[in-house]
Amino acid sequence: MNRGQEIWALRCGIFICLNGRHWLERQLQKQGIDYVKDGNCFVRIENIAAAQVLLHEQLKTDWAKLLNGLALGSCPALSQVLRPLEPEYYWSADETEWATDIMFKSVEALEELFPSFVHHAMRVCDSPSVMKYLGRRNLAGVAPDEVISDYRRRYEGIRVKHSVNYNSVKMYNKSGSLLRIETTINNTRDFKVFRRPNDDEGKPVSWQKMRKGVSDLHRRCEVSQQCNDRYGDALAAAQVEEKLKEVVCGACNKVVKEGKRYRGLNPWQQDDYRMLMFLSKGENAINGFRNHDLRKWLYRESEQAGKDQQKKYSGRTTRQIKLLRTHGLIRKVSRANRYVLTEKGQKFSCSLMTASALDIKALTEMAA
């Protein structure tokens, strides 16, 4: 083998696809747990708690050891071909999909609720995912007034998807009685992991940008689950049985905190209404939002303003964020300049945006 062949061999890539549901099926068979599987979905499992434990066991895998074994098994002669060199791999997860399946007791039970989930996603959780399909990561200049959510009708049912920076969260019905919420991560740099910089043992641990390497895979799964939980909570907020007045009246009244008075929110005032529209946007469930994101939404002209003017707009946005936090609608993400909705905020924004999207006739019929 000449030098050029050695370099080619060392740069050769191996792509492996792992399916956690198929893996679980093997685990269930080994444990003797009965199940019914439809494609990539489990519509019935004899012992759901035990199955969940088995899924969590997958996260304890030594990924490098597992993948090295799969690589050697797929090409046993590789070590002989490269001798005296030993093949070394840097394993990374190019794309991960993390799904949460909510099992309903019957097809009819899901069908009764699913239209309201779709209505919530299309009317309330608007998303700029259409930019991704048009091949545009960011909009140049001022964003348009109308942004279209990605809605597709498949042979199985309806799928709604929200995307930002090549990461997405989607919701769809599967196998009749399953509601699946799924987070897909391609761009890991939008998230952070608590580790040593460059894995240097001499440096203290801190929040660093997430890498695609399998060493950060556990955190990637954790972030994906949090995203699924937030989106699921948002869908649950669409089903809230409280009266609209009971949900919104607290944040619509003045409050006093630490001796300082804060105004109540006015959903029918233009600026507050736009702020509530921002809170209900589906893509914010993926990784929260920052001051810059809210400022860009509320004050589009700030993107073209000078540095001094941008500071003023940033200050206004900071005060709006403070107001939302005081009313308990959002909370700050620990060790990050990002904010996510609380359960109260999800109910508040969802109920008001849904009500505002209905005409008077529809509201009257619902109240009758």
| pLDDT tops 60 at residue 300 | yes
Tell me: do 362 and 254 sit in the same domain. Answer: yes
Mean pLDDT, residues 100-105 = 92
Range of the domain at 280: 244-367
Q: For residue 127, is pLDDT > 80?
A: no
Does one domain contain both 31 and 148?
no
Domain boundary among 90, 108, 125: 90
Whole-number percent of the chain with pLDDT over 70: 76
Both 287 and 350 in a single domain? yes
Distances (CA, A) of 89 to 13, 23, 71, 250, 351: 9, 23, 9, 56, 51
Strand partners, 183: 98, 169
80 and 144 housed in the same domain? no
State yes or no: pLDDT of 100 exceeds 90: yes
Q: Which residues have a Cβ under 8 Å from the Cβ of 19 and sit 6 or more positions away?
A: 40
Same domain, 179 and 128: yes
Domain boundary among 90, 119, 153: 90
Residue 292 sits in the same domain as residue 351: yes
- The pLDDT score that the predictor gives to residue 321 is 93
> What pLDDT digit, counting tens, does each position of 167-222 carry?
888 888 888 889 999 999 999 988 889 888 887 888 898 889 999 999 999 999 99
Dihedral Cα 193, 194, 198, 199, nearest 10 deg: -120
Together in a domain, 234 and 261:
no
Give the chain's end-to-end CA distance (angstroms, integer). 83
| Locus of tokens 């699924």 | 228
Regarding whether 255 and 214 lie in a shared domain, the answer is no
Tell me the average pLDDT across 297-316: 85
Model confidence at 361: pLDDT above 90: no
Residue reference for tokens 């519509």: 43
**Residue that is last in its domain, among 90, 121, 151:** 90
**Per-residue pLDDT tens for 160-169?**
887 777 888 8
Question: Given this model, what pLDDT does residue 167 score?
Answer: 84
Is residue 47 scored above 90 in pLDDT?
yes
Look up the CATH number of the domain holding residue 320. Answer: 1.10.10
Whether residues 264 and 164 fall in one domain: no
Residue 230 shares a structural domain with residue 290? no
Q: How many domains does the chain have?
A: 3
Is residue 307 classed exposed, middle or buried when 0-12, 13-18 and 19+ CB atoms within 10 A define those classes? Answer: exposed
